[in-house]
Amino acid sequence: MPGRFRDYLQPDKLHILNVSFLMETFTRHFGGTGANQAYTLALLGLKPKLAAAVGTDFGSYRSHLIKAGVDLGLLLKVKDKTATGFAMTDRDNNQVWGFYSGAMKQANKLSLKGQLTNQDWLAITPNDPRAMINYVNQAINTGTAYLYDPAVQIPRFSREQLKRGISGAKIVIGNDYEIALLLKNSGLSEKQILSDRRRRRLPGRFFSRIY
């Protein structure tokens, strides 16, 4: 949109928020954090496996990922629409998202037991919260190194669930807003996370917002 979200918002009226943003352009893209990461890793010559629940409308996206070299053997297909996100962006590149979870609601039925080894790397990205909790537990139980990216699902987790996800991860990642929310909701500080990682000899240098 050509303007700024702040031009529409009245701080003293946020409890009765009712706004509409007029968009000047609209584009549609393949997406989803896990699929984006798998696609990029495949372009770099790796052999990523995508574990996700997809819907009946996944056909063209399936072809797109297969062409790039992504292994889709772990997909769970359900009778629903594939998850879809709608992003509104203002002139300052601030974003407001709406998200229809669709098939993703059943991702917790997809188990990685028997798939993970201590030689693997697992990227746990925004998904059904129950699925993300399962993947953290399965990775920890099998000694599998994992990247933890709770992102937009941070508010859906308890403090203890966030702490467990962070403590077992080789890498914790998020943008500035997400990391601030992650620290607030987990009750941890950057210093605590970094000192814990140094004590366990895990990567601990601080790059932007990647632990």
21-107 under CATH 3.40.1190.30, yes or no: yes
Mean local confidence (pLDDT), 35-44: 96
**CA gyration radius for the chain?**
19
pLDDT band at 113 (very low <50, low <70, confident <90, very high): confident
Same fold, 21-107 and 115-211: yes
pLDDT bin (cut points 50, 70, 90) of residue 128 is very high
- Indicate the domain borders of the chain: 21-107, 115-211
| 30 vs 160: CA distance, rounded Å | 33
Asked if residue 210 has pLDDT above 90, the reply is no
pTM of the model: 0.83
* Size of the chain, expressed as the number of residues it contains: 211
The one-character DSSP state at 139 is H
pLDDT above 70 as % of the chain: 92
Residue 208 has pLDDT above 90, yes or no: no
As a CATH number, domain 115-211 is 3.40.1190.20
Report whether pLDDT(28) > 50: yes
Cα first-last separation, the chain: 33
Q: Which two tokens stand for residue 14?
A: 């946020």
